[in-house]
Each structure stands twice: as C-alpha cells, then as structure tokens.
C-alpha cells in the first residue's frame, strides 16, 4: 500500500490550477460570451476528485499506517478545507443580505437566509425542490461535500483497502456511473437534490482510482522513463483545455464523451503529471497555480454574484458589456484568491495546526 517516495507534485498543482480557472470561466460565461466558455469544464470536478485521491494516498497512507487516527485525519482535512469554505459561504450570505436592501422586489426572508447559512456552515445539503443546488449560498460547495464523504470513507476503510478491494470499489462505482450517465445524458450531476445520489459514484470512482494510481506508481515508475524528456506536462495542460473546450451534441454522444474523459483521458493526464519532470523555469508558476486553485474554486461563485450585483447597483449591465466585464471579473477573483490565500487562509491554517499540536501535546 506504500505510495511512491514523498515529494511535491508541481505538475499536478498546475493541472488543478488550470482546471479551477476553467470552471470559473465556465460559470462566468454569460458575462464573457454569447455561449458557454469551455463548455465541458464541469468535468474538472472529476479531475479534482482523481487528483484528490492521488494526493491523499500520497500524503496520508504512511501516516495512517503509522498510527494517525480517524479524528486526527478528519481534523487535519477540515483545517485544510474549512477556512476558505467558510469564507465562501459567508460571502454568499452577505450577497443575499445586500440584495434584500438594494432589490426589495427579490426580497428573501431572513429565515431562509439563516437556514442556508446554518446548513452551509455545517456541511448539510439542502435537498428540497425549492433549492437550485444543495448549497445555495455557494453552489461550488457541493463537490466539497462529496470530497469530505469520500475522505471519511478512505480513512474508515483504510486497512481493508487492498488492491483487490480498490478494484472492486472502482469497478462497482464505474458501473453505477455509466448507468447514471446513460440516464442523464451527461456526467454533470450531483449538485442538486434530484441528482445527489448520482454524485456518489461520480466521486468514488475517480477518488479511489486516484488512490490506486498513487499506490501503483512506485511499481511502474521505471516504465515511464520516456516521460522524463520532452514537453509532456505542457501537452497534458493543453489537452485539459482542449477537453474542456469540446462540446459534443447531447444524449449518448455527450455521455460517451464525458465517460471517455473521466475513465481514460484524466488518469493518463494525472499519470503524466506525476511522472514527468517539471521544467525549472515553470516550477514557480505551477506552484502558484496549485496554491490558488482551491481559493478560486470555492469563492468564485459568490464573488460572481457580488460583482455582478455591484455592477447592476451602479447601472452597469454586466450582460451587455462582455467580454470585458467577465474578463475583469475573472482577474479580480484570481487576485482576491491570491490575497486571501496569503493573508487569511494560510495564517488561519497555521494557527489551527499549532493549536491542534498543542492540544495533542497536553493530552
């Protein structure tokens, strides 16, 4: 079960950063173009799950084998994810409160806002028909909810997660995923109350495939020597954008395309990223892309609502000023994500880690 020797996967950081920016541009489409920008970018979530499984196995397999318990693992994961998640949720609540004052015709009862805020802060999905997504204050949070579920499954099942068990989980999840894709005509599900059940095989397939890839890496590392030469990482990053830019027709073609990407192309790209050498001149860029990927993903939807709402408040129609309004929004979100990482997320996480270590030392 031992993964490869621990090191920093800057290439995978770059993949995650490109995917996060693609998702943001996809959601900003109405302010950038007449149609969807990078219309298959919702598949970035599946790439995130795959990368998460790989990195979690790489980071925690040996720690759990050495005695890290369930509570410690969960606390460490919450320290990593929760500060920015909380910020995104509060931004969503702030938007609704300001909207109530500026747009009385679209007033939302404070009891509804309080319910969304409370359930959002506690990672409780809202599955009623009245909600367009299971986390209305910050719609992107749906994937984080599934991320935590599969993280919990990973640590609870850790000591029985042999290669055979992993293959069984992956195969069973794939069968359910294919069925869900055939019924829906897409893999773009899991974020609403009606499709929340379909989100389970979506996360379990990619996450546990990532775990298996990581644990297999040491055994097959010598087979990929050719990846140490050339521009394989840059090719993988370009392929990511190509995948997100292609938009097959609906129905079976759409479902088949999504499955091919998730089952075949993404694992190949992650393998390339894990094995190929990082160009020294690009290492700082790749590190930065990884650093801002999560902030961009988790705050871009409430920031979209706030910036677009502010535009309307000063009589600027954001829909009539594309692509410049959308491009400006994207740049603002990237800048805010970078600043938030430096002055909020990283200091808060360091403080919480120190408190955890101090409490464990006292105990």
Confidence check: pLDDT of 198 > 90: yes
Lowest mean pLDDT among 63-72, 170-179, 244-253, 259-268: 244-253
Instruction: Give the pLDDT of residue 243.
Output: 96
Q: Give me the mean pLDDT over the 278-296 stretch.
A: 95
Lowest mean pLDDT among 6-15, 17-26, 131-140, 166-175: 6-15
Instruction: Give the pLDDT of residue 3.
Output: 43
Instruction: Give the pLDDT of residue 125.
Output: 96
Confidence check: pLDDT of 2 > 50: no
Q: Give me the mean pLDDT over the 308-312 stretch.
A: 77
Count of domains forming the chain: 1
Domain membership of residue 362 (yes or no) is: no
Domain membership of residue 31 (yes or no) is: yes
Confidence check: pLDDT of 84 > 80: yes
Domain containing residue 190: 10-356
Domain membership of residue 176 (yes or no) is: yes
Cβ–Cβ < 8 Å for 57, 215: yes
pTM of the full predicted structure? 0.94
Domain membership of residue 1 (yes or no) is: no
Spatial neighbors of 336 by CB under 8 A, at least 6 apart, are: 295, 299, 303
Cα distance between residue 208 and residue 193, in whole Å: 24
Confidence band, pLDDT 50/70/90 cuts, at residue 221 = low
Instruction: Give the pLDDT of residue 149.
Output: 97
Share of the chain above pLDDT 90, in %: 77
Instruction: Give the pLDDT of residue 244.
Output: 97
Confidence check: pLDDT of 233 > 50: yes
Among 2-16, 116-130, 223-237, name the most confident range: 116-130
Tokens of 38: 């990078």
Instruction: Give the pLDDT of residue 264.
Output: 97
Confidence check: pLDDT of 320 > 90: no
Instruction: Give the pLDDT of residue 251.
Output: 78
Domain membership of residue 344 (yes or no) is: yes
Confidence check: pLDDT of 324 > 90: no
Domain membership of residue 78 (yes or no) is: yes
Instruction: Give the pLDDT of residue 102.
Output: 81
SS3 labels along the chain: CCCCCCCCCHHHHHHHHHHHHHHHHHHCHHHCCCCCCCCCHHHHHHHHHHHHHHHHHHHHHHHHHCCCCHHHHHHHHHHHHHHHHHHHHHHHHHHHHHHHHHCHHHCCCHHHHHHHHHHHHCCCCCCCCCCCCCCCCCCCHHHHHHHHHHHHHHHHCHHHCCHHHHHHHHHHHHHHHHHHHHHHCCCCCCCCCCCHHHHHHHHHHHHHHHHHHHHHHHHHHHHHHHHHCCCHHHHHHHHHHHHHHCCCCCCHHHHHHHHHHHHHHHHHHHHHHHHCCCCHHHHHHHHHHHHHHHHHHHHHHHHHHHHHHHHHHCCCCHHHHCCHHHHHHHHHHHHHHHHHHHHHHHHHHHHHHHHHHHHHHHC
Cβ–Cβ < 8 Å for 94, 138: no
Share of the chain above pLDDT 70, in %: 96
Confidence check: pLDDT of 80 > 60: yes
Cα angle: 64, vertex 65, 66; to 5 degrees: 85
Instruction: Give the pLDDT of residue 363.
Output: 61
Q: Give me the mean pLDDT over the 241-258 stretch.
A: 92
How does the average pLDDT of the chain come out, rounded? 92
Confidence check: pLDDT of 130 > 90: no
Confidence check: pLDDT of 218 > 80: no
Q: Give me the mean pLDDT over the 205-211 stretch.
A: 98
Domain membership of residue 238 (yes or no) is: yes
Instruction: Give the pLDDT of residue 223.
Output: 67
């Amino acid at each position: 079960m031992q993964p490869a020797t621990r090191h920093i996967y800057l290439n995978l950081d770059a993949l995650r950063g490109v995917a996060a920016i693609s998702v943001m541009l996809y959601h900003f489409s109405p302010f950038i173009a007449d149609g969807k920008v990078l219309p298959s970018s919702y598949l970035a979530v599946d790439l995130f799950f795959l990368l998460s499984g790989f990195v979690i196995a790489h980071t925690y397999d040996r720690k759990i084998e050495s005695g890290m318990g369930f509570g410690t693992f969960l606390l460490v994961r919450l320290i990593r994810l929760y500060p920015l998640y909380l910020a995104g949720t509060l931004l969503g609540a702030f938007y609704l409160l300001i909207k109530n004052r500026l747009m009385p015709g679209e007033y939302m009862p404070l009891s509804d806002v309080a319910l969304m805020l409370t359930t959002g802060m506690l990672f409780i999905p809202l599955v009623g028909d009245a909600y367009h997504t299971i986390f209305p204050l910050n719609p992107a949070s749906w994937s984080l909810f599934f991320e935590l579920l599969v993280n919990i499954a990973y640590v609870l099942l850790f000591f029985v997660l042999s290669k055979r068990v992993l293959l069984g989980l992956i195969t069973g999840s794939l069968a359910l995923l294919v069925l869900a894709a055939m019924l829906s005509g897409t893999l773009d599900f899991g974020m609403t109350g009606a499709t929340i059940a379909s989100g389970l095989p979506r996360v379990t397939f990619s996450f546990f495939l990532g775990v298996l890839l990581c644990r297999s890496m040491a055994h097959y590392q010598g087979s990929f020597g050719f990846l140490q030469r050339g521009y394989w990482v840059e090719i993988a990053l370009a392929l990511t954008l190509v995948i997100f830019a292609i938009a097959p027709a609906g129905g079976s073609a759409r479902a088949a395309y999504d499955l091919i990407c998730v089952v075949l192309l993404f694992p190949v790209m992650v393998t390339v990223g894990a094995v190929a050498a990082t160009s020294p001149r690009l290492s700082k860029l790749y590190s930065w892309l990884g650093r801002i990927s999560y902030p961009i993903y988790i705050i871009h939807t409430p920031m979209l609502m706030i910036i677009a709402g502010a535009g309307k408040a000063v009589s600027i129609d954001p829909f009539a000023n594309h692509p410049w309004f959308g491009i400006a929004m994207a740049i603002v979100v990237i800048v805010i994500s970078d600043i938030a990482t430096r002055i909020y997320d990283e200091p808060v996480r360091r403080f919480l880690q120190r408190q955890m270590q101090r409490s464990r030392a006292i105990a």
